[in-house]
Amino acid sequence: MKKFMILVMVTMMALCVSANAQAALLNFDLALPDILSNTTGVYSYDATTNLMSFSATALTITFDQSTLIPITNGTYSANFHVDENGNFAGGVDGNDLIITGNIGNDYSGILVAGEINNFGWLVPATGKAWFNYTFDFTEGALEDYYTSKTGGDEATSEVSTFTGNFNNSFTGIKTKHDTAPTTPEPSSMVLLGMGILGLFGLGKKRA
């Protein structure tokens, strides 16, 4: 039993070290429909106001991961506050995220709008940046697809001055977005619980 408890403690320490070594991107999967914004988007972070702003052109949407349907007159904007450590600090007045456009004759106007509730980022390779965030869906023509009322966005910038430091302002261009309902990934605590149960079963077999 003593060896089993030591093994559990070592496993927990290893998981904690692993979790701390990971980049600070949020863990979630994007479901469908997925709105794709093209690579002409831009973003900026103002270290004085702590405001993170994204803007782009909502270009296409896919309902099945294979067919891309054009969005006409598409716009994408997201604005929220981030503290000096890169943590989400709050939204702005009105919707933090707004995506508008026309999808054939089926959907028009505001497609997706929401209040951002979390933010993640990855210390980039030289000249690149990766960001993501989650949001609570508030309104939009695609409401029927946001049954859990949660969504997420993944953004990549090919040309960026971000170095992982939120004490300084930075900008980026050639930024694209994927925006869709989210499917949460298993948390580290769930994985830890599964690991402990597995070890417990192994200990009982040896006993």
pLDDT in tens, the chain (207 residues): 434 333 333 334 333 333 333 359 999 999 999 999 988 999 999 999 999 999 999 999 999 999 999 999 999 999 999 999 999 999 999 999 999 999 999 999 999 999 999 999 998 778 899 999 999 999 999 999 999 999 999 999 999 999 999 999 999 999 999 999 998 655 443 444 444 434 444 454 455
Please check whether residues 44 and 138 belong to one and the same domain.
Answer: yes
pTM of the model: 0.79
Number of domains making up the chain: 2
Please check whether residues 107 and 200 belong to one and the same domain.
Answer: no
Please check whether residues 196 and 150 belong to one and the same domain.
Answer: no
**H, E, C per residue of the chain:** CHHHHHHHHHHHHHHHHHHHHCCECCCEEECCCEEEEEEEEEEEEECCCCEEEEEECEEEEECCCCCCEECEEEEEEEEEEECCCCCEEECCCCCCEEEEEEECCCEEEEEEEEEEEEEEEECCCCCCEEEEEEEEEEECCCHHHCCCCEEEEEEEEEEECCCCCCCCCEEEEEEEEEEEEEEECCCHHHHHHHHHHHHHHHHHHHC
Please check whether residues 178 and 89 belong to one and the same domain.
Answer: yes
Please check whether residues 155 and 195 belong to one and the same domain.
Answer: no
Please check whether residues 160 and 175 belong to one and the same domain.
Answer: yes
Q: Residue 116: which domain range? A: 28-184
Please check whether residues 135 and 194 belong to one and the same domain.
Answer: no
Please check whether residues 151 and 74 belong to one and the same domain.
Answer: yes
Please check whether residues 52 and 96 belong to one and the same domain.
Answer: yes
Please check whether residues 34 and 52 belong to one and the same domain.
Answer: yes
Please check whether residues 172 and 74 belong to one and the same domain.
Answer: yes
Please check whether residues 97 and 116 belong to one and the same domain.
Answer: yes
